[in-house]
């Protein structure tokens, strides 16, 4: 399965935008890029996913590089509630790996007041 690389930790100031990077240089053409986050003492929460085009939803935006070897999760105005571990996960649409989420160690985002 294609792997992802994320920074271990990042800091952001409250009410400022946050750009969380993810490298996936071995991504295949059928891999979807998914992002989840896990707040303290909670289960992971789905944030957003995409295949080739940039995606927006009420929580965040996903910017996908043209060669798809990297992507960036954008939180437009960080709040203290956004402090969490963020996971970037690839899911192949045509293999059994699509039936499970393979979590790496993720990025611990700290939001400073």
Shortest distance, CB of residue 52 to another protein, whole angstroms? 12
Tell me whether residue 25 or residue 100 sits nearer to another protein (CB atom).
Answer: 100
What is the CB neighbour count within 10 angstroms for residue 50?
Answer: 18
Note whether 23 and 31 are within 8 A (CB).
no
Q: Candidates 2, 7, 49, 55: give the one binding another protein (CB under 8 A).
A: 49
Question: Nearer to another protein by C-beta: 12 or 64?
Answer: 64
Binding residue for another protein (CB under 8 A) from 34, 84, 86, 107? 34
| Binding residue (CB under 8 A) for another protein from 45, 56, 77, 80 | 45
- DSSP codes of every residue in 54-108: -EE-SS-EEEE-TTSSEEEEEESS--GGG-EEEEEEEEETTSGGGGS------EE
| Options 91, 107, 109, 111; binder of another protein; rule CB under 8 A | 91
d(CA 81, CA 100): 27
Summarize as ranges the residues that interact with another protein (CB under 8 A).
30-32, 34, 36, 41-46, 49, 51, 91-93, 96, 98-105
């Amino acid at each position: 399965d294609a792997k992802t690389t994320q920074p271990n930790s990042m800091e952001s100031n409250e009410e400022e935008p946050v750009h969380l990077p993810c490298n996936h240089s071995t991504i295949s053409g059928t891999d979807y890029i998914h992002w989840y986050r896990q707040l303290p003492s909670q289960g992971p929460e789905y944030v957003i996913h995409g295949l080739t085009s940039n995606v927006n939803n009420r929580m965040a935006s996903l910017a996908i590089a043209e060669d798809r070897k990297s992507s960036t999760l954008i939180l437009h105005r960080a709040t203290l509630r956004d402090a969490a571990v963020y996971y970037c996960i690839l899911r192949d649409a045509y293999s059994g790996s699509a039936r499970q989420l393979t979590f790496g160690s993720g990025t611990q985002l700290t939001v400073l007041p």
